[in-house]
Amino acid sequence: MLTVLPATQISTEDESHRSSSIIRKIHPLLWLLMAISPVIAWYVKRLDDGGDEPLGLLTFSLALMLAWRDRKCLDASSEARICGAMMVLASAMAIVWLPPMLRAGLAVSGVAVFFGIHQRAGLMGLLALSLPVVASLQFFAGYPLRVATAEGAVRLLEMGRVVVSRTGAQMEIGGRIVGVDPACSGVRMLWHALAAAMALAALHRVSWRATSVMGLLAIILVIPANILRAFLLVFEQTGFWEKSDLLHGGIGLASFAIILAPLLWIAVKRAGRTDRNVCITTKRVGGTDRNVCITTKRVGGTNRNVCITTAVVTPFVTTLLIVAAILAPLLAIGTPRTPLQSEIGPEPVSFTFDGLTLPLRPLRSTEAEMAFAKSFPGTLSSHRWGDDQVILRRMTEATRRLHPSRDCLRAAGFETTDAITVTRPGGGEWASFSAGRDGEWLLVYERIVSERDGAAWTDVSAWYWSAMRHPLNGPWRAETVISRR
């Protein structure tokens, strides 16, 4: 039976134990940082490679602030310390066979469990979204979401007796082609919806069950909200409404409000049932653990005291962290990064664009291009084509390492517009965008072509899913044409 002492009766021995405990916690944190150092290095590189928006830093900062707010009730048990340390060790040992994103998720989860953050589902969600997942979501889920959005918009238009047909992610209305471009796939809306759900859950200290419901609801509502957004934008693209940036942005905000409203309602409704306040008094029991008395606020009833057990770091946990801290840098340095073997024929000597065929004159690769080519499963070459530049990337299999040119230019410091699908005079569809830096503006066209049957894709995600389903249609060639304005 625990006797709760008044705050004024806390002994000097307890005060000294608290100070020594804080000192001991410094060492586990240093071991943890060493153990996840490969993840930190990968995270920094991903933020600067142009493929992800650095919005993850916002969710990470918000998670840290809210964890600090709730620090008095996030003490981890001895079981949680052991589990967290083992997860961090597993992430270090998995460098050899697990993809970086999965290792990072395992490492972040391990650190969160180690410090008791797993007791707040919203905080765990914010930490998961702090990883650079936007580019991966766009790569794997972008095209399926675009097709779903186009199909939903077609059904709504047909209800209004509009003659419309769909091919992939494009709609034909009155002889005009309206495409659901990558920027309108709904991936960014999905990320923002999940971030809003997790932030509301963490702010209101919502339970795991309610947080899971909010996350699932955010995912489900993104599809109809994005369909409605695409449906309304069709009228703008087809000339029924006058094009306006204000109208375009307003439609996006209205669509997002459809998702945000029910999430806010659930968070506010469930907040009062799980809010907890931590008592200011503690009493140490035994040599390793201590009991903490917390007061639970009950809606419609009286308050009650609940005692939970928290733990200090044991020698076994410290040993796990030290092993992880030693293994992680060694495995990260020693793991080879060899590209996949390719069986691609010789480089083409000419190139056709806009119906014009001109010879290709090889250009010397830059340091950035040579570094990228080392880990690229295929070949990469740059050529002069008339007054323009042509970059060819050739692959023998579906690969995640094929990035859109827009991401590569952003990583080089260029500001870019969203990519749109256009039909060039020479036939064929291309993704087009503009890129600018230091007063220099480039007009970029790109697509991916099968060298076997001539099929073409304007989106990396669409090509990836096709290459996965039809691997014998390769090799493929990513064509990028860059002209200066």
Residue 273 has pLDDT above 70, yes or no: no
Specify the higher pLDDT residue, 299 or 381: 381
Tens-place pLDDT, residues 362-377: 887 765 566 556 556 6
Contact assessment for residue 149 and residue 186, using Cβ atoms and an 8 Å cutoff: yes
Average pLDDT over residues 128-139: 84
Tens-place pLDDT, residues 383-440: 888 888 888 888 888 877 787 888 777 767 788 887 888 888 777 888 888 888 888 8
Contact assessment for residue 339 and residue 302, using Cβ atoms and an 8 Å cutoff: no
Residue 201 has pLDDT above 90, yes or no: yes
pLDDT over 70, % of the chain: 76
**Reported confidence tier of residue 445, pLDDT bands at 50, 70, 90:** very high
Residue with tokens 């995270």, as numbered in its chain: 43
Average pLDDT over residues 430-453: 88
Residue 179 has pLDDT above 80, yes or no: no
The pLDDT value recorded for residue 123 is 94
Q: What does the angle CA 390 – CA 394 – CA 396 come to, to the nearest 5 degrees?
A: 170
The pLDDT value recorded for residue 246 is 64
Residue 196 has pLDDT above 90, yes or no: yes
The pLDDT value recorded for residue 194 is 94
End-to-end alpha carbon distance in the chain? 79
pTM for the structure as a whole: 0.68
The pLDDT value recorded for residue 310 is 46
Residue with tokens 């340095």, as numbered in its chain: 333
Q: Comparing 2-11, 177-186, 449-458, which segment has the lowest mean pLDDT? A: 2-11
The pLDDT value recorded for residue 18 is 52
Strand partners, 394: 379, 477
Contact assessment for residue 209 and residue 199, using Cβ atoms and an 8 Å cutoff: no
Reported for 428-434, long-range contacts at CB under 8 A and 24+ positions apart, including other chains, are 428/456, 429/456, 429/458, 430/458, 430/481, 431/181, 431/182, 431/404, 431/458, 431/459, 433/406, 434/485
**Reported confidence tier of residue 382, pLDDT bands at 50, 70, 90:** confident
Average pLDDT over residues 76-80: 84
The pLDDT value recorded for residue 100 is 83
Q: In what order do the strands lie in the sheet with 304-311?
A: 276-284, 289-296, 304-311
Tens-place pLDDT, residues 19-46: 445 445 556 788 888 889 888 888 887 7
**Average pLDDT of every residue of the chain:** 77
Residue 49 has pLDDT above 60, yes or no: no
